[in-house]
Amino acid sequence: MKIGVVLGTNEPESAWNAFRFAVKALDSGHTVRLFLLGPGVECESIHHDAYDVPGQMQAFADRGGVLLACGTCLRSRQMKGSDLCPISTMQDLVDLTTWADRALTF
């Protein structure tokens, strides 16, 4: 199954769970694309003792998951894309939702 995930929060536990879900879906043989939107674009810089969000992000990327970050949301926070979170567009989010058999939001 093709699964699209939209993550719109920088709350550590929710972001961690979104990536844990995405990793598990990849491990179960699904194809997953994840789009960071709004505060979600800040996930790479979350530091929390109990919720290793950057570690789950890397696990997602290591398994071949596609991760995109809203360019407008990044720029509004004076942030840039990275190798892990490349800049993307609203059109990429439209494409993700039409590509996916199922779309989830966190």
Q: Judge whether 85 and 71 are in contact, CB under 8 Å.
A: no
Give the structural domain span for 47.
Answer: 2-105
Q: pLDDT, tens digit, for every residue of 58-70?
A: 999 999 999 999 9
Q: pLDDT, tens digit, for every residue of 73-99?
A: 999 999 988 888 889 999 999 999 999
Strand partners, 4: 33, 103
Structural domains counted in the chain: 1
pTM of the complete model: 0.94
Q: Is 2 helix (H, G, I), strand (E, B) or coil?
A: strand
